[in-house]
Amino acid sequence: MSELTMQHWIDGQTVVEEGVPIIDIDSPTTGKVIGGVAEASPELVERAIQGARRAQKEWAAMSLAKRTAIMFNFRNLMVERQDELAAIIVKEGGKTHGDALGEIARGLEIVEFACGIHNALKGDYTSGASTGVDIHTIRQPVGVVGCICPFNFPMMVPMWMHPMALATGNAVVLKPATPVPTVSLTVARMYQEAGLPDGLFQVVTGDRQVVEQMLASDGIDAISFVGSTPVARIIAEGCAKSGKRYQALGGANNHAIVMPDANLDFAAKHIVSGAFGAAGQRCMALPVVVAVGGAADPLIEKVKARAEALVVGPGEDPASELGPVISSASKQRIVSWIDEAEAAGARVVLDGRSFQHPDEQFAGGNWLGPTILDNVPLETKVYCQEVFGPVLVVVRADSYEEAIAIVNASEFGNGSAIFTESGDVARRFELDAEAGMVGINVPIPVPVGYYSFGGWKGSLYGDVKMHGQEGVNFYTKQKVITTRWAGKADEHVGLDFVATKDR
Ligand code: NAD
């Protein structure tokens, strides 16, 4: 039995459910069990949903000034406690302390946007649309929102959702990713400390069974999901069946084109960061470079020199630049995909498969060193699927036209980048790239909080992205109100909805 068992947070308190399965939390750094996650029963998930429904009604009626005051308090608590939050993320997820602080900072952008939600909720007004008739719009909360999250950003991805959902007047039922639940349970306590009424932020832990109940329940009005593409599809189908609003962000396989005129030192530096940061476990990681013409050989040399100097080690060590991957199953899958590509003719430029941490206490960790593969056949898994590990695949092309065709053939369309010194080529790429987020000399073009985040093709099911104005639209329903008052103007109006000269 594990040393620490995570339970649920419902109606402002910890809830322990007896007799349910406990899923181990393994440390990615040591391989040892460091905790357990209770798999909530369908009855408990429903209890959390119904508690959220009760709390939401009063919350939706509360003034914007009061709601945003709570968001301000929450924002200040996050800033004060970011090191504590980062330490939890590092312990369960294995990323470096710097990466953990980075995801908190990106999450904070959304809280800060939510602090100013009154701006985004302003409606339209048309005076005198018809004789004596005015029209205005309001946005009202959808109700109870189910948030289902992936392991790789235990803090940031839920924060794409809950600050926006709460500030717009909804209640949230959050299911964190199974291996990394603790930071969400800590956030729940912080919201309470910030003054959020109980029941508005519920956390139920577990895996598939919890998601299935959220999909089945009539008490959930909308689902925000981020995770892999196959599960995004399950969410989209489940929501379509039960008539829920949904946004389901899936996986990615982001490409960057490097043109021969690019500043190759600059490109190499940013490609290393894009490919190997967070051990490649980012939906906006950069696992594929399409090198055009003469760019390939010098670029590979420069990338290799930087990548082999990266310090691989535990996230708690400030010297570490690259932590372990999340699980031994993930490590085995990545190694087997590298093996397959090598057997198919790819050249292994840098080989991280056999990396072992020298310190005995980390011998059981899921270590992989940075790996670079050149001339990778396009039908191999490591090229065409999402590797989600510290692997950079290099593909060669003779021209921009060939390169963009390779980029756009991907089943995913999350992010895409180009390195070039030519404004003309950059502009062509900006228009040609079939991706939701595009970088010009920027390898990981994650939009700031007041823009919206989301991809195209297999990277997003549903058409509404996360945060920014699209996030506001997702968590609210617009209403159009047409008003007329009996009085002098009324004398001129004919039958309603009939076009007359008196309109
Ligand atoms: P995952 O799809 O395995 O899990 C995501 C969530 O779905 C988890 O909470 C999990 O418990 C639940 N889940 C898993 N299988 C399920 C099933 N069969 N039925 C119902 N629910 C299920 O993803 P992950 O491995 O935790 O995270 C990595 C993935 O997330 C990668 O594919 C990555 O690209 C993606 N991701 C995408 C974005 C984006 O913005 N597009 C951002 C971060 C991560």
Domains of the chain: 42-250+459-480 (3.40.605.10), 255-440 (3.40.309.10)
148 CA: nearest ligand 1 atom? 9
| Alpha carbon distance 289, 253 (integer Å) | 11
Which pLDDT value is given to residue 2? 43
Instruction: Tell me if 284 sits within 8 A of 254, measured CB to CB.
Output: yes
Distance CA(448)–CA(105), nearest Å, equals 11
As a whole-number percent, the residues of the chain with pLDDT over 90 amount to 94
Q: What is the mean pLDDT of residues 372-396?
A: 97
CA 328, CA 309: separation in Å to the nearest integer?
Answer: 24
Q: 210: which 2 tokens?
A: 């919890």
Whether the per-residue pLDDT at 393 is higher than 70: the answer is yes
Q: Cβ atoms within 10 A of the Cβ of 439, count?
A: 24
Residue range 357-380: mean pLDDT, rounded: 96
**Rounded Cα–Cα distance for residues 78 and 373 (Å):** 40
Average pLDDT over residues 463-467: 95
HEC profile of 93-144: HCCCHHHHHHHHHHHHHHHHHHHCHHHHCCCCEEEEEECCEEEEEEEEECCE
Please tell me the distance between residue 395's alpha carbon and the centre of ligand 1 in angstroms: 27
Calculate how far, in angstroms, residue 179's C-alpha sits from the geometric centre of ligand 1: 11
283 is catalytic: yes
* CB of 329 sitting under 6 A from ligand 1: no
Phi, psi of 288 (to 5 degrees): -130, 130
The residue written with tokens 């939510």 in the block is 114
Atom of ligand 1 nearest to the CA of 175: 9
Tokens of 397: 């092309």
Among the listed residues 115, 149, 239, 283, the single catalytic one is: 283
For residue 7, what pLDDT is reported? 86
| % of residues, the chain, pLDDT over 70 | 96
Q: Quick one: pLDDT band at residue 495, thresholds 50, 70, 90?
A: low
Residue 497 has what pLDDT? 56
Q: What is the mean pLDDT of the chain?
A: 95
The answer, yes or no, to whether any atom of ligand 1 lies below 6 A from the CB of 325, is: no
State the amino acid at position 193 in one-letter form: E
Q: Is the Cβ–Cβ distance between 419 and 262 less than 8 Å?
A: yes
* 153 C-beta closer than 6 A to ligand 1: yes
Give yes or no for residue 214 CB within 6 A of ligand 1.
no
**Spatial separation of the C-alpha atoms in residues 157 and 140, rounded to whole Å:** 24
- In a 10 Å sphere around its CB, with 0-12 CB exposed, 13-18 middle and 19+ buried, how is residue 153 labelled? buried
* Termini Cα distance of the chain: 75
pLDDT the model gives residue 242: 93
- 487: confidence class by pLDDT, cuts 50, 70, 90: confident
The bridge status of strand 460-461 relative to strand 245-249 is antiparallel
Contacts made by residues 335-339, CB under 8 angstroms, sequence distance 24+: 335/368, 337/380, 337/381, 337/382, 337/385, 337/387, 337/391, 338/371, 338/373, 338/382, 338/391
Q: Buried (b) or exposed (e) across 392-408, using 16+ Cβ within 10 A?
A: bbbbbbeebeebbebbe
pLDDT value for 1 = 37
How confident is the model over 296-343, as pLDDT tens digits? 999 999 999 999 999 999 999 999 999 999 999 999 999 999 999 999
- The predicted model gives 405-434 an average pLDDT of 98
Q: Cα 427 to chain center, whole Å?
A: 27
Beta strand pairing status for 415-419 and 255-258?
Answer: parallel
What is the full DSSP assignment across 309-355?
TPPB--TTSTT-SB---S-HHHHHHHHHHHHHHHHTT-EEEE--TT-
CA within 13 Å, CB half, 155: 31
pLDDT at 496 over 70: no
Question: Is 144's C-beta closer than 6 angstroms to any atom of ligand 1?
Answer: no
Query: 68-121, pLDDT tens digit by residue?
Result: 999 999 999 999 999 999 999 999 999 999 999 999 999 999 999 999 999 999
Ligand 1: distance of its center to the CA of 227 in Å?
A: 3
- Please identify, by atom number, the ligand 1 atom nearest to the C-alpha of residue 232: 2
